[in-house]
Structure 1
Amino acid sequence: MEWLAYLFFPLLVLVLWRAKDRLSPLALAGIAFLCLTPLLYIGIVRDDDPFLVQGWASTIRIATEFTAGSFTYLAVRRWQDNPEAKRVSQVLAWMVPLLILGIAVIMGNIPGLQWEGLPDEAPRGYVVIIPLLVLWIGALALSNGAPSRFLSTHTLVLGGFISYSLYLIHIVWYGLWRAGMQVIGIDGGPLYLLSTIFLIVSTVGLAYLMWRLVEEPAREWMRSKVGARKVPTEEAGEQAR
């Protein structure tokens, strides 16, 4: 059902366009977090769906995260020239990941939150860290401290460019790799390690090719149809580095 969230995204854009200058940045940030409540609800109350894929869970997960991220962007856009917001963001950029790590360690060591038969899966209720991740992303976008500078390096920005293509292909490519390993009977040892390294490197390589040869040309073509600059100024500068 993930496709349904993508299908309705153009309708969300119309709402975002109307809201971007009509609401205060604080209201936009509040809406971003309110959008996550359906995801938090199903993530906390469900005790038989650790991956949140059953029923409408995939649609709810994608739709709420998309919407929260979009409203977070609008809030950041309005706060980007606010000195006080930047000062607060500098602190949050360091504090929030430490808080996330602490919560993850605590939840991971509570026996009652673990899934039976899935020792390596995230514990029940792990969705409580998602609002903190949204907060962290917003703080990183507003701050210019060490975490933001590190994530702004050319290599990591390029990783951000290819991340959507990586998201689209990684499950398929991993499935093919796993099936191939089962066919040839390799399930451990040095060859398995080498094959795993190949899997990681090839997945990133395929994602880069898909971004460069499919995703980016298609996006530039669509931008040209509405009279916009094919490559946004920020991306053109980054690609020229």
Structure 2
Amino acid sequence: MNIKSLIAALLILPAAFALAETPQEAAVKKLVEPRLNEGTKVDSVTKTPYAGLFEVRVGSDVIYTDEKAQYLFIGNVIDARNSKNYTKIRVDELSRVKFADLPLESALKTVRGNGKRVIAIFEDPNCGYCKRFRKTLQDVDNITVYTFMYNILAEDSSIKSRNIWCTADRNKAWDDWMLNGKAAATAAPSCDTPNEKIFELGKKLRVSGTPTVFFADGSRLPGAVDVKGLEDKFSSLK
């Protein structure tokens, strides 16, 4: 393995397989944590192979500091020779989820064609970009879509989601609302929903906006991507 390949491998090394923290990294962690926002917990500090910087990881967020933690560097580290964004590679790796662990029984399920390509989406019923993406999905075949109703945008989002969840045909009710603006009937008081469970799940997965799409490999794609962008992403998974 050449030096360039080694550096790339180190940068995308999953946290679960990272090397044990060195005394120097532990010392930097001790210095930098009090200098961040009050209450911020640093998950790890790792010395990078470039410029003497140390990666400071807080959840799936990454910043950089020097060995004395005197300076904080917030932004992307990009290889000037090939434009590779090492920070994005690292953050994408940290943001991955285990798709099999998602509570798919608490999602709406739609299958189109052979359904071999699988995604899970976090959407809010008041999200305009979600409605745009829902229309995009109408032009995508051979896909299984799990939709988690993630109520973060308005006070009545949870009410709309509850009414949809409690209908006889949830998928039709969701499409009626998202595609045609036809609201579902008011749900009976006795109907239980997974609203709170999905809200907590979204927070745990650090879903900060809708739509957010998760793919079978655990990677995520935020925003209302178009058909080409979605197809390109599927192709990259092969």
TM-score w.r.t. length of structure 1? 0.24
The structure with the largest strand share of the pair is 2
TM-score (ref. length: structure 2)? 0.25
